[in-house]
């Protein structure tokens, strides 16, 4: 088992559930809401599992790596400049098409990316 800290960035569109997942993983209570712009800066939490030490970074929502707003710039700069060990792209599967542009951009980077489908309950309610 490694004592190296693994940095995990939670990325995705606004309102895709990143902060809820962050809170569940880290045991913290970051503000969550059903509107874009709730997370406006990156938040860090920690998790130890199976001997691995993880730093989980909750990034502000962004639709792409072409950033315009301050929140998008924070997310883009962390992914491109800080180079986390892995980026977890949280995709709202109740509105998957809207999430695919960022997913495509992330997949083209020279970093490990994990795609997580979230909000399956809402998609199911909508018959998707």
Q: Where are the domains of the chain?
A: 5-125
Partners of residue 12 on adjacent β-strands: 90
Judged by DSSP in three states, 72 sits in: helix
Residues 57-95: tens digit of each pLDDT: 999 999 999 978 888 899 999 999 999 999 999 999 998
Question: Does residue 103 contact residue 91 with C-beta atoms inside 8 Å?
Answer: yes
Residues 16-31: tens digit of each pLDDT: 999 889 999 998 876 5
| 30 CB neighbour count, 10 Å cutoff | 15
Look up the CATH number of domain 5-125. 3.40.50.300
Distance CA 86, CA 126 (A): 31
Q: Tokens in use for 26? A: 């880290």
Model confidence band, residue 1 (pLDDT cutoffs 50, 70, 90):
low
């Amino acid at each position: 088992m490694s004592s190296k800290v693994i940095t995990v960035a939670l990325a995705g569109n606004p309102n895709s559930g990143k902060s809820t997942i962050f809170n569940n993983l880290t045991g913290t209570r970051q503000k969550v809401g059903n509107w874009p712009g709730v997370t406006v800066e990156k938040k860090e939490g920690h998790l130890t599992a199976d001997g691995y030490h993880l730093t989980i970074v909750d990034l502000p929502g962004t639709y792409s790596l072409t950033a315009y707003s301050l929140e998008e710039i924070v997310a883009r700069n962390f992914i491109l400049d800080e180079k986390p060990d892995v980026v977890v792209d949280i995709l709202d599967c109740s509105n998957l098409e809207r999430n695919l542009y960022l997913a495509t951009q992330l997949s083209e980077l020279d970093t490990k990316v994990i795609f997580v489908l979230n909000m399956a309950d809402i998609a199911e309610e909508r018959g998707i």
